[in-house]
């Protein structure tokens, strides 16, 4: 088979595929399926991961987790700059500046200093 005939055959096959697609989209099921695909694109515009920005996080720990505790302290807190709560907890573990709280803290708490 010559190249010219191969090219003509490929071209005819592409035209048949295009006609087949047009026929499919004209059926009710084809219209329904294409509308689902369009809606999915609107709901999920991209698959890019979320970009976090650095912000201030408050980390509180109970008195029971501190080795050198006094009777007056009920818990401790520090403010760190991080992107996520996990990073904030990790950075707080390296912090040397902790405030003594006058109220009881029952468990570890990590929350934004200034909510959005």
* Residue 15 resides in a domain: yes
Structure tokens that stand for 54 in this block: 């650095």
* Residue 30 resides in a domain: yes
Per-residue model confidence as pLDDT tens for the chain (116 residues) = 688 888 888 888 888 888 888 888 888 888 887 777 665 545 555 555 667 788 999 999 888 777 665 666 678 899 999 998 889 989 998 888 888 888 888 888 898 988 76
The dihedrals phi and psi of 55, each to the nearest 5 degrees, come to -150, 170
* Same structural domain, 35 and 68: no
* Same structural domain, 39 and 59: no
**DSSP assignment, residue 94?**
T
Which domain does 38 fall in, by range? Answer: 3-43
Say if CB 104 and CB 60 are below 8 A apart.
no
3-state secondary structure of 18: helix
Residue 56 is predicted with a pLDDT of 93
Q: Look at the chain and report how many structural domains it folds into.
A: 2
Q: The pTM is what?
A: 0.52
Say if CB 80 and CB 88 are below 8 A apart.
yes
């Amino acid at each position: 088979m010559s190249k010219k005939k191969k090219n003509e055959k490929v071209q005819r096959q592409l035209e048949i595929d295009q006609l087949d697609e047009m026929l499919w989209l004209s059926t009710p099921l084809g219209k329904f399926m294409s509308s689902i695909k369009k809606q999915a694109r609107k709901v999920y515009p991209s698959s890019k991961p979320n970009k976090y920005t650095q912000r201030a996080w408050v980390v509180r720990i109970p008195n029971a987790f501190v080795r050198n505790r006094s009777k007056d302290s009920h818990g401790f807190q520090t403010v760190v700059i991080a992107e996520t709560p996990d990073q904030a907890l990790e950075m707080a573990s390296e912090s040397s500046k902790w405030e003594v709280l006058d109220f009881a803290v029952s468990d570890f708490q990590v929350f934004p200093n200034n909510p959005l």
